[in-house]
Each structure stands twice: as C-alpha cells, then as structure tokens.
Amino acid sequence: MLDIKFIRENPDFVKEALRLRNYTIDIDLLLALEDERKRLQQQADELRSQRNIISEEIGMMRKLQLKSDHNIDTTKDKTAEVKVVSDTIKSLEETISAAEDKIASIAMIIPNIPHATVPIGKDETANVEIRRWSEPRQFNFTPLNHWDIAKTLDIIDFDRAAKIAGARFALMKGHGARLERALMNFMLDHNGARGYKEIFPPILVNRQSMTGTGQLPKFAEELFRTADPEFYLVPTAEVPVTNIHAGEILKEEELPIYYTAYTPCFRREAGSYGKDTRGLIRQHQFNKIELVKFVKPEHSYDELEGLTADAADILEQLGLPYRVMLLSTGDIGFSAAKTYDIEVWLPGQTRYREISSCSNFEDFQARRAKIRFKRADKKGTEFVHTLNGSGLAIGRTVAAIIENYQQKDGSVVIPDVLRTYMGIEVIK
C-alpha cells in the first residue's frame, strides 16, 4: 500500500504511474476524502479540548459548592453543555470512521509504483529479455507434450483426477509422484544451502494475512475460501511466510532474513477458461517452493538480483534451458515494484513458459502488514522491503523435465541431480 503522504505530495506522479500500469483510480477523490477526514479530525480534537476545559470548570464549581452552605447545583448548564459537545464528538467520530473506510477502500486497490528501471508498455509484449541460459535441445524426432508422455508412462492421470475433483487437477502416480517429491526435497535442500531457513507454514490463512500481501481485496475472485469459519487457502507460500513478521518491529541486526517454504497452492484461475486446459501448466491445486526475503531498503534491488539467481540456479542444476524476462509496467503484479519472470523451455510446446516470478515489493507489503525495523543508530522505525520468488513451481518443473528429457522410445531420463532422490536413472 502506498503512503498517503507520498500520494498527497506527488499526485501527478502517482496518476502517471497508474496510467502506465493500466489502472484507473480516482486519486483526486482519495485526496479530497483525506482532506475532509483531516478537517473533521481537527474539529473533533478541538471539541475534545473544549470538553476537557468545561469538565475542569465543572470540577472546580463542585469543589466550591461543597465548601459553601448552598445546596443548589450550579453545574447544570455546564453539564448540559458537555453533553452537547460529547454528542457532537460522537457524531464526528462516526463520520470520520466512514471517511476512513472510503479512503481505505480506495487505498487498498492502488497498485505499487513501478521502479524506474521497469520498461514501459501496455502488456507482456513490452517485456524485455535479459538473458538466456543454454540452447534448447535438438531432437532427432518430434517431441511430445508432457501430458501425452505421462499418459503413456502412466505417471500422471488427468482423467481420474477430473473424476475425483474436476478439471484442472492432476493425479500423480508411481514415478510421477516420486518425481514431484524428489523435486520438492531437492529444491528445499538447494535453498537451504544458499542460506534460506526452511519453513512449513499453515496453508489456511485469515483475511488479514491475505490483505497484508496484497491478495485482498483486489484478487478475491482468484481465491478459494471456507465459509464458517472464514479461512483462505493459500495461492502461494508468499502469504503465510511474509506474514510471519506482520505487526513486528525487527532489529537491524536481524536483517536480512531469508525463508524458503513448501506448500500446496490453490487458485481458482478465474478468467483463464480455455487457456492451458491440458497438462500441468495451469492447475487449481499445485505444489510450489517459495523464496521470501526481508531486507533493508538500501539493499533490496541487489537482493532481487540474488533472489532471481538463486531460482535460476535450480534450472541450471536440472539442465533445463531458460530465459529471464524483465516485466513491463503493464505486466507486473499488483504489489510489485519490479519483477523478473524466469521462463523454462518446453519443447513439446516449442515455447518458453513462466516457471518462476521474482519480485521486489519495496515497502508496499510491509506497510500493509506493518512490518518494520529499527536501526541501531537512529530513532524511530522504518518499513522493511519484502521480496519473494518461486523456487520453483514444481508441477511446471515436472512438465519441463518430462518434455526436455524425453527419449525416442518414450522413456524419460532423470536429471543427474535428482537420481539420488529418485533411486532410478530413467522412467520407462
């Protein structure tokens, strides 16, 4: 969430940033509501001060009355005056509360400001390729899609998954299930070796946690929710892991903090009907390993480069060709100031597909979740900068391995780094 003070001091800059992000939000209305709230707050504060003065006068009058022999109550008029002032304050407080709700409803749907290095563009067509790693394998046969290979090998069953749950679910079987688990363990071990502390968080979270990371209120239609009591199934481990420090003031020496976590993830994929209806690319339920960082503001963009490199190194160890894309202003996520997408090569589809998204949110999430830190040599507190990235989406990694390591006879070779986890070299 943006600082209202920053919006007030830079309204034209914010409006232009929203335009570049394809957002239409009435900033003038927000500022008018904030000005009105401040005016009402000042009026209420003045009335409270007036009430305190009158109350002191009533107290003095009652002391004088006790010292005299008169039984006549001389404070009636003042007491009535206090009641009028108190009623007015109560009415103002209700009006202020309503104004605050309106302000919050607008402020919560304002996206982050793109970093100056983010390319300007309307959508993904303006994304910029930063680098590639490894050339795609040249096959001496026509490579198949992962769902066709998986069906022949009997390692993923989409039909029975649909019978059990519905469309966009997968039933992993035998070596398919083992490959999923092997990747999970390999990625967590890899991230642990790079300094990330392993976390296994709740996968049901409350509304406050979803709001803290920016999923609510903007993306409510993408989320699975339980009704009574109200919980949300996590769309990514970013939500529970970032909220570990919600409402806390960290010490400077505690930063940076690196976490990695496995969770199943759940997304409704609203608006994606007809897209990627086959295979593992776009599922309602999928497994993912997440990377989350809490860092000092002056280090966050170096940390973003490191985060992206950590995620990309997993693909290099697996021998999977990829490219890194810098997302444009029209394609970055709601909470992000800058994002790199890592896209893996899928020969069965003859295209690169996103497998990781690494973002710096600056203080956007920290401001919503109230995550601050205190420098040792300064008074007051500052908001930390938060970052997160997929390290990696496991289902998409399974798809990439199946397609890139497929053989002419229909078998799939296991990447070297996974063989100790799998106990086999080839899925036949």
Q: How far separated are the first and last CA of the chain, in Å rounded?
A: 51
At residue 71, the pLDDT reads: 62
> Considering only CA atoms, which of 254, 261, 270, 282 is closest in space to residue 389?
261
Tell me what the mean pLDDT of segment 74-83 comes to: 85
At residue 70, the pLDDT reads: 61
Rounded to an integer, what distance in angstroms lies between the CA atom of residue 124 and that of residue 294? 28
Amino acid at 368: R
Lowest mean pLDDT among 115-129, 183-197, 273-287, 344-358: 273-287
Q: Where are the domains of the chain?
A: 4-107, 124-427
H runs (alpha helix) in 319-411: 364-369, 394-404
CB contact at 8 A, 126 and 331: yes
Omega of the bond prior to 392 within 30 degrees of 0, cis? yes
Is residue 65 over pLDDT 80? no
Alpha-carbon distances of 25 from 31, 119, 210, 308, rounded to whole Å? 12, 22, 22, 32
Rounded to an integer, what distance in angstroms lies between the CA atom of residue 324 and that of residue 346? 15
Q: What is the 3-state secondary structure (H, E, C) of 60-128?
A: HHHHHHHHCCCCCCCCHHHHHHHHHHHHHHHHHHHHHHHHHHHHHHHHCCCCCCCCCCCCCCCCHHHCE
At residue 209, the pLDDT reads: 98
CB contact at 8 A, 126 and 330: yes
At residue 421, the pLDDT reads: 98
CB contact at 8 A, 356 and 311: yes
Is residue 69 over pLDDT 90? no
pTM of the full structure: 0.93
Tell me what the mean pLDDT of segment 61-75 comes to: 71
Is residue 40 over pLDDT 90? yes
At residue 275, the pLDDT reads: 84
Rounded to an integer, what distance in angstroms lies between the CA atom of residue 136 and that of residue 97? 59
Architecture of domain 124-427 in this structure: 2-Layer Sandwich (3.30)
Other CB atoms within 10 A of residue 400 CB: 26
At residue 72, the pLDDT reads: 60
Rounded to an integer, what distance in angstroms lies between the CA atom of residue 170 and that of residue 168? 7
Rounded to an integer, what distance in angstroms lies between the CA atom of residue 31 and that of residue 14? 12
| Lookup: tokens for 232 | 């949300």
Is residue 73 over pLDDT 80? no
At residue 384, the pLDDT reads: 98
| Lookup: tokens for 301 | 């963009």
Is residue 132 over pLDDT 70? yes
What share of the chain has pLDDT > 70, as a percent? 98
Rounded to an integer, what distance in angstroms lies between the CA atom of residue 345 and that of residue 323? 8
Q: Give the 3-state secondary structure of residue 411.
A: coil
Alpha-carbon distances of 402 from 196, 386, 420, rounded to whole Å? 28, 34, 18
Architecture of domain 4-107 in this structure: Orthogonal Bundle (1.10)
Name every residue whose Cβ is closer than 8 Å to that of residue 276 and which is 6 or more positions away in sequence.
282
| Lookup: tokens for 157 | 């069953």
Tell me what the mean pLDDT of segment 340-355 comes to: 98
> Considering only CA atoms, which of 370, 368, 383, 299 is closest in space to residue 111?
368
Lowest mean pLDDT among 77-86, 157-166, 281-290, 348-357: 77-86
**pLDDT band at 218, cuts 50/70/90?**
very high
At residue 339, the pLDDT reads: 98
CB contact at 8 A, 415 and 318: yes
pLDDT digits (tens, 9 = 90+) for 241-275: 999 999 999 999 999 999 999 999 999 987 777 78
- Looking at every residue in the chain, the average pLDDT score rounds to 96
**Taking the CA atoms of the chain, what radius of gyration do you get in angstroms?**
28
Tell me what the mean pLDDT of segment 350-361 comes to: 98
> Considering only CA atoms, which of 12, 32, 25, 125 is closest in space to residue 334?
25
Omega of the bond prior to 297 within 30 degrees of 0, cis? no
Q: What share of the chain is helix, strand, coil (3-state, %, to 5)?
A: 45, 20, 35
